[in-house]
Amino acid sequence: MIKKKHLYKHYKKELNDKSSFLIGQKAFIVNSKGKVLILKRHAKSTKSQMWDFPGGRLNFTESLRGGLLREVKEEVGLDIIIISLPLSIVCFLRDIDRNTQITRIIYLCSASGKLILSKEHSDSKWINPINHNKYKFIGEDYHTAFENYLKFKPQIKEYLGEGILQDSINHKNS
């Protein structure tokens, strides 16, 4: 195991001028029946045939809320009503090139509208969160999100009020 203070030195040799940092956001959407939306990745995508949540990368100058709303609308046609507390936050290096660090945040959400699956995914399901271990997700943090949801489910309703993400980005702060 690498000590935290040596982590940068360990990965520095893998970094180059093309190193980058991305924020990925996922929506843990719970419907009125308590089921959670999961998506199967298309056969031609990376980590194909694994399960995922709707969401994706934040664009430059895009707010956290705006980015998640856009990604969910693009992938499943749903409108997010509430974006509440994060169920999981993880940082990792991308498998493909190891030069991109990604921070992925999975938010508890509710949504409305008719589900229309994009071409990025081959299937969708609303599952009972208790059964999450029956599915292979693209990262262990997905199971962490399910476990946190199940652990705090009795208190969850109080978090589905206004939500926590603001709708703007402040360019004056540094």
Domain that holds residue 43: 19-155
Write out pLDDT tens, residues 55-102: 999 999 899 989 999 999 999 999 998 878 899 999 988 777 778 898
CB 93 within 8 A of CB 100: yes
Residue 142, in any domain of the structure: yes
- In the chain, how many domains are there? 1
Q: Would 6 be classed as within a structural domain?
A: no
Identify whether 66 is part of a domain.
yes
pLDDT in tens, 29-40: 999 899 999 999
Question: Residue 135 class from Cβ within 10 Å (0-12 exposed, 13-18 middle, 19+ buried)?
Answer: middle
Is 174 within the bounds of a domain? no
Question: Given this model, what pLDDT does residue 167 score?
Answer: 57
- Rounded Cα–Cα distance for residues 73 and 67 (Å): 10
Residue 10 counted as domain residue: no
Q: Is residue 106 part of a domain?
A: yes
Is residue 162 in a domain?
Answer: no
Mean pLDDT, the chain, integer? 83
What burial class does residue 127 get, using C-beta atoms within 10 Å of its C-beta: 0-12 exposed, 13-18 middle, 19+ buried? Answer: middle
Domain presence at residue 107: yes
CATH number at residue 130: 3.90.79.10
